[in-house]
Amino acid sequence: MIQVLFYAGALLAGLLLSALTAALLGDPALGDLHLSYVLYVVTVAAVALGAAGPRVLKNSLSIAAAVAGVLGGAALVYIFLAQVLYVGTAMAVKHGGLAFLWNIPPTPADETGGIGPALLGTLYMTAIGAFFGFLIGFPAGIYLGEFRRELAAKVARIGVNVLVEFPTITIGLLVYALFSLLGMRAFSGYAGALALTIIMIPYVALFTAAAYASIAPAVREAAYAVTGSLYKTLFIVMRKVVARAVLVAFLLGTAKIAGETAPLLFTAFGNDYYTSEIFGVDLGEPTGALTLLIYYMAQTPYTVQNEVAWGAAAVLLWIILAVFAVARLLQRSA
C-alpha cells in the first residue's frame, strides 16, 4: 500500500513539477531537467557528507542519505516518466485530442497532424507478434522448465538465453534477409510482426520455464497422478497451477514488443499513410509504428513533427503502462 502511494505521489509530484516549470520557464523539458539535476546533486552531496563527516553527523546523515538516495533515485525516474506523459498528452490534446489518434502524421508544411496509421500498425503488429510469440514460446517454456534435466533442454535453454539477449536490430536484419531470400516484401507489416514474434518467443519461454520449474514437487506428482496423458498433465493441470504467472509473462512480453523500435527499422519500415480501406493498414505494405514515428519525427527540425512525436510517445507510454498495471494487479492478487 505504501509502495502504491509512493508511486502515485512521485507521479503526481512529477506532473505538478512539469506543470510548474512549464508555466515558469515556458520550456517544460528544460525546467524538469534542472530540478532533477539539483535533486541528484543534493543526494550525492548528502551521501558524500555522510561518508566523510564526524560520527554523529555521519550516522544521522547516512540514514538520511540512504532514504533520500532511494526516494530521489526512484523519483528521478518517475519525474521523467511523468514528464513524457504530461507534455506528450498535452501535445496530443493540442493536435486534435481524440482525433490525434486517427489523423495522419503531419508533413513539415502542415499545421497539425496525428498518429493514426502508426498506432494501428503498432496494434496490429504487436497483436500478431504477441499471439504467435506466445503460441511458440509457451510450449517451448514448458519443455525448458519441465524437462530441465534433459540434455536437449539444457542445450535449448542456452539458445533461448542467447536469443533473449540478442540485439533486436539484428533480428530485424535476419527477417529482412529471410524475406528477401524468399522473394517476399521485406519492408512490410508481416516482416515487422515476424521480427516481434521472434523477440517475444524467448521472453515468454523463459518466464514459463521459471514458472513450471517452481511448481512444488508434491503438486507436480499430483498433476501426473490424475491423468496418464502427458499433454493433459502439462497443458491443463500444471497450467492451472501457474496460469497467473504465465498470463503476466504474456502481458509483460506484449508490453516489451509494443515498445520495440530497432527490429522494425529494416522490416515494417514506417508509413505515414493508411494503406487499406477495410483494415486501415495493409500489412503487406510498409507499415507505420509508434516507435518508428517517434524516431523519425523527433529528428526533424519542424516543430509540428516534434510535437506529434511527443504525443506519440505519450500514447505509447499510456498503452504500456496500462498493460503493466494489469500485470501488476494480477501478480498482487496471486
**What residues make contact with other proteins under the rule CB under 8 A?**
216, 218-229, 232, 236-237, 240-241, 243-244
For 209, the grid coordinates are 520455464
Q: Minimum CB separation from other proteins for residue 43, in Å?
A: 43
Which of 66/226 has CB closer to other proteins?
Answer: 226
45-67: burial string, b at 16+ Cβ within 10 Å, e else: ebbeebeeeeeeeeeebbeebee
Which of 59/229 has CB closer to other proteins?
Answer: 229
Q: Minimum CB separation from other proteins for residue 330, in Å?
A: 13
Q: Residue 299: which of 84, 77, 108 has the closest Cα?
A: 108
Q: Minimum CB separation from other proteins for residue 241, in Å?
A: 6
311-322: burial string, b at 16+ Cβ within 10 Å, e else: bbbbbbbebbee
Q: Minimum CB separation from other proteins for residue 162, in Å?
A: 28
Which of 237/283 has CB closer to other proteins?
Answer: 237
Which of 58/232 has CB closer to other proteins?
Answer: 232
Looking at the DSSP bridge assignments, the partners of residue 276 are 280
For residue 226, the SS3 value is coil
Q: Is 183 exposed, middle or buried (0-12, 13-18, 19+ CB in 10 A)?
A: exposed
Which of 27/221 has CB closer to other proteins?
Answer: 221
Contact by Cβ (8 Å): 45, 65: no
Which of 222/326 has CB closer to other proteins?
Answer: 222
Q: Residue 146: which of 58, 227, 237 has the closest Cα?
A: 237
Q: Minimum CB separation from other proteins for residue 233, in Å?
A: 9
Backbone angles phi, psi at 23, to 5 degrees: -70, -45
- Quote the CA–CA distance of 144 and 152 in Å, as a whole number: 9
Q: Minimum CB separation from other proteins for residue 222, in Å?
A: 4
What CA–CA distances, in Å, run from 68 to 41, 56, 57? Answer: 11, 18, 15
